[in-house]
Amino acid sequence: MKLLTYADRAVALVNTDDHGAGQDHLQCGDDVCRLLPDGWRVSHTVAEAGLQELREARPRLRRVFELAATGRVERATDALNKLLGDFPVSASISDHTTGWHLHLSDEPQGPARSYVTGAAFGLAYTIAERGPERLGLCDALPCRAVFVDTTTNSSRRYCSDRCATRANVAAYRARKRGDC
């Protein structure tokens, strides 16, 4: 697994709280099963047991995105360092595919714990490798979904094509109104 892709876990977890639609997609064991990577094959009981931990980590991860996306880098990294302290990483090295690479080890406390540990690590690794400006917050209100900006010039503003279209249409209408 590419270490940068661990950040995708943070994005997926934070975005289960859909501000734009006013819907929370992390409320039961089934929601946890949907969130966890397919290969994990977690039983419903285990998924249910991890719900609380995921729900508690979610606003903490969101906070890191919000602070980083609004230029409050020091506070973002403080918040992230607290998460890393609470969810310390254990790693192993493997050559099961082509060449030696690092994996984060499964946490003995269970899959929810492993998931959050990976998510926090992914944000830390992204900031260290690519810079805090890579953590983004969708500009198309009321959507407040988060994303990791992988564009070459760090120019991404929206979480999705749908939000980009919506924002462009709104801007076009506003311009038109201004013309009248």
143 binds Zn ion (CB under 5 A): yes
Nearer CB in complex with Zn ion: 61/138: 138
Nearer CB in complex with Zn ion: 3/42: 3
What b/e readout covers 54-80, taking b as 16+ CB neighbours within 10 angstroms? Answer: bbebbebbbbbbbbbbeeeeeebbebb
For the record, the structure tokens of 49 come out as 């047991």
Nearer CB in complex with Zn ion: 81/168: 168
Nearer CB in complex with Zn ion: 60/144: 144
Options 5-13, 60-68, 124-132, 157-165: segment touching Zn ion (CB under 5 A): 157-165
137 binds Zn ion (CB under 5 A): no
SS3 23: strand
What is the distance between the alpha carbons of residues 147 and 10, in angstroms, rounded to a whole number? 9
CA distance readout (Å), 125 to 18, 131, 134, 142, 161: 25, 9, 11, 29, 26
Site for Zn ion in 95-124 (CB under 5 A): none
Options 85-93, 105-113, 118-126, 145-153: segment touching Zn ion (CB under 5 A): 145-153
Min CB(78)–Zn ion separation in Å: 26
Nearer CB in complex with Zn ion: 39/85: 39
* C-alpha dihedral, 100 to 7 to 34 to 165, nearest 10°: -130
Options 4-12, 26-34, 143-151, 169-177: segment touching Zn ion (CB under 5 A): 143-151
Min CB(40)–Zn ion separation in Å: 15
Which element (helix H / strand E) includes 63? Answer: helix 44-69
SS3 85: helix
163 binds Zn ion (CB under 5 A): yes
For the record, the structure tokens of 120 come out as 């926090």
Identify the residue among 119, 123, 127, 159 touching Zn ion (CB under 5 A).
159
Residues at the site binding Zn ion, with contacts judged by CB under 5 A: 138, 140, 143, 145, 159, 163
